[in-house]
Amino acid sequence: MGGNLYWVFVALAAIGAMLIVLGGKKQEGAADWPQSVQWGYLALVIGGFGFLSNYMSFTAVMLVFVLITGVVWALDKWLLAKKRAASGAEAGHFVDYSRGFFPVILVVFVLRSFLVEPFQIPSSSMRPGLVVGDFILVNKFAYGIRVPVLNNVLIPVGQVQHGDVVVFNYPPNPKINYIKRVIGLPGDTVEYRNKRLTVNGKPLTDVQDGTYDYLEKELGLQQITADQFRESQNGKQYKVLNNAGTPVVALSQVQDFPYRDNCRYDDDGFVCKVPQGNYFMMGDNRDNSSDGRYWGFVKDDLMVGKAFMIWMNFGNLSRIGSKIQ
């Protein structure tokens, strides 16, 4: 998170707390708290959420809010409400708003943790299939029902397959989510040489399929023309892009990552042996993708889920409902 945005959230939380403290009491017979208190809680929640997101994942922040509001809800339901009934008092605004926030936050937390999570495509690394501006849905249980935050498989459901398009926590910074295609499973040997992929000694089928033009925002809306190929893996067929004259791998950008010794690099490409419990990912836009070539393997507990559908693109409504190949 940018430094300026961080302080915006801190300021929001502080302003929210001040409005709550100075907001006054509910007028006798009124159904709602003063607007200053209402705005205060809204600012506190947004600011607190943004502040905590600087230190932990979205799911972890959601869990914190679920626990806080859930504890207040439970105490009120089984203890505080009875005491108020005996004395004729009303619930304070903290209890009142916690009771209101809890079911909403809980539903969102359960949906995002176990069923479906939204994700926005941030770059051109998965062109031509996915473009900047696509909002997609990610199946959270495709690879097993997982323990929130820890992300260990609790109930096995399905397995990661070659060719799946997956969202995962970026290994160098797990607070960031990436989306790539699964090229190598645990134990596989992946080789990419002269812009041809080979998995376990078997070249993947790729057939020339014309060219593909797009504007690259990161290069100031520069027009890019790439060669397009139809690639096949594990019965899945999808399109990939290559730029003539671009190196197979920019050796200067290769990082020092866990199991780095499992890979060998040279001017023509690389070969990697995927360690157990890990996967090897690549973007479909092969010459415009920061992927496993540069930062290594993705551990299973970093997996978020399988991308399956585009649910919105405000710039191109015809993409809505498209299945992700």
Average pLDDT over residues 304-314: 97
Q: Does 269 map to a domain?
A: yes
Average pLDDT over residues 121-137: 96
End-to-end CA distance of the chain: 31
**180 and 224 share one domain:** yes
**169 and 220 share one domain:** yes
Q: Is pLDDT at 31 greater than 80 in this prediction?
A: no
**53 and 142 share one domain:** no
The answer to whether the Cα torsion of 203, 209, 211, 212 is positive or negative is negative
Q: What is the pLDDT of residue 263?
A: 98
**231 and 280 share one domain:** yes
Residues involved in catalysis: 125, 180
Q: Does 325 map to a domain?
A: no
Range of the domain at 61: 3-115
Q: What is the pLDDT of residue 218?
A: 74
Q: What is the pLDDT of residue 2?
A: 63
Whether the ω angle into residue 275 lies within 30 degrees of 0, i.e. cis, is: no
When pLDDT is cut at 50, 70 and 90, the band that residue 29 belongs to is: low
**224 and 198 share one domain:** yes
**224 and 271 share one domain:** yes
d(CA 62, CA 107): 11
**35 and 181 share one domain:** no
**11 and 80 share one domain:** yes
Q: Does 296 map to a domain?
A: yes
pLDDT per residue over 232-255, tens digit each? 998 899 999 999 889 999 999 999
Q: Does 324 map to a domain?
A: no
Q: What is the pLDDT of residue 254?
A: 97
- Percent of the chain at pLDDT > 90 equals 83
Q: Does 289 map to a domain?
A: yes
C-alpha separations of 180 from 76, 129, 155, 240 in Å: 46, 11, 24, 12
Q: Which residue do the tokens 């941030």 mark?
A: 122
Tell me how many domains the chain contains: 2
CATH number, domain at 135?
2.10.109.10
Residue closest to 49 by CA, chosen among 34, 59, 39:
59
Q: Is pLDDT at 4 greater than 90 in this prediction?
A: no
Domain ends where: 115, 146, 163? 115
Average pLDDT over residues 165-191: 97
**89 and 141 share one domain:** no
Residue count of the chain: 325
**Helix, coil or strand: residue 4:** helix
Q: What is the pLDDT of residue 217?
A: 80
**138 and 266 share one domain:** yes
Q: Does 218 map to a domain?
A: yes
Domain ends where: 89, 115, 141? 115
When pLDDT is cut at 50, 70 and 90, the band that residue 169 belongs to is: very high
Domain ends where: 90, 115, 140? 115
Q: Does 190 map to a domain?
A: yes
- Residues 179-212: b if buried by 16+ CB within 10 A, e if exposed: bbbbbbbeebebbbeebebebeeeebebeeeeeb
**127 and 37 share one domain:** no
Average pLDDT over residues 243-272: 95
**228 and 263 share one domain:** yes
Q: What is the pLDDT of residue 89?
A: 85
Average pLDDT over residues 176-197: 96
Listed range (11-25, 257-271, 291-305) with the worst mean pLDDT? 11-25
Q: Does 11 map to a domain?
A: yes
